[in-house]
Amino acid sequence: MSIMNHRLCGLLVLASWFMSDLNSLLHSLMALRLSFCTDLEIPHFFCEPNQVVHSACSDTFLNDLVVYIAAVLLAGGPLAGILYSYSKIVVSSRAISSARGKYKAFSTCASHLSVVSLFYSTLLGVYLSYAVTQNLRSTATASVMYTVVTPMLNPFIYSLRNKDIKSALKVLFEKIKISPL
């Protein structure tokens, strides 16, 4: 509570919205300079900037450069912060004397790290694979993973660590005759 207060939390949310709006505006303005062929279909459930750029008939070098620079800045910054935080957690956890305390600290981190790894690996897969291959089905699958599956996993991963949620699920499963967790 001494570090994360309501004001800082609000500023972080505001900064996140501002950065995402600027990123969207940048990609939209960059797409305006392209000329597109007729009757094109993007096989995604939403328009990835990478897919839109590569469906153009004109030169896309500058757009590719902007996409990759934005990806490095907007994904690399938070990733660096996450890695820094985990390095601090590991250093602090090494000072814990009990094995149970170390287990609790690392098990809490493992669930978050699994979601972060899934998000970043599929995100990198979408943006870097298009430079190597034109397999649209695999990029569409990867984009579903980082935009739909990862956010859906968050409530399950974090709430299943809560004892109240576990006991409520056990009661629910017992009522409908399913073996408990």
Q: Which residues of the chain have pLDDT under 70?
A: 1-2, 42-46, 127-136, 138-139, 158, 160-162, 177-181
Return d(Cα 45, Cα 136) in angstroms, integer: 12
> Token match 């409530």: residue?
155
Q: Residue 83 in contact with residue 139, Cβ under 8 Å?
A: no
pTM of the model: 0.65
* Three-state helix/strand/coil letters over the chain: CCCCCHHHHHHHHHHHHHHHHHHHHHHHHHHHCCCECCCCCCCCCCCCHHHHHHCECCCCHHHHHHHHHHHHHHHHHHHHHHHHHHHHHHHHHHCCCCHHHHHHHHHHHHHHHHHHHHHHHHHHHHHHHHHHCCCHHHHHHHHHHHHHHHHHHHHHHHHCCCHHHHHHHHHHHHHCCCCCC
Q: What pLDDT sits at residue 51?
A: 75
Q: Identify the pLDDT of residue 21.
A: 94
Report pLDDT for 161: 64
